[in-house]
Amino acid sequence: MTETMTEGPCPLGPYPLDHLVLPTASLDVARARLVSLGFVVAPTGVHPFGTENCCVFLEDGTYLEPLAVGNGQAVAKAIADRNVFVARDRAYRDRCGSEGFSALVLGTENADADHARYIE
């Protein structure tokens, strides 16, 4: 009998929530909104592929990641270089605008093994 996704046991159990990606046109606006709600917001983090964030780290280890485009040229290069994270962020913004909720990211203990299982 061929095992389907719903029939077989999950080899690792559920993956824990790591963070939520929240695109925004402006980190300053996102920071102000979050601070007004009582959150402590981390300083701006700059990614080498052109995006920036200002995260809110929660007590349980999960976090919110407001994400903005900081350097459009670096983003364009990253997309040309096949950076999937940046390409998907661009696709979301093109389709839905620059504000919203674009990704739920799960944690893993072994990304290489997860990738190999996915490819298989």
Q: Where are the domains of the chain?
A: 17-119
Residue 10 three-state SS: coil
Q: Which CATH architecture does the domain made up of 17-119 adopt?
A: Roll (3.10)
* pLDDT tens-digit series, residues 55-96: 999 999 999 999 999 999 999 999 999 999 999 999 999 999
Number of Cα atoms under 13 Å in the Cβ half of residue 11: 8
- Each residue's pLDDT tens digit, 5-27: 444 445 567 899 999 999 999 99
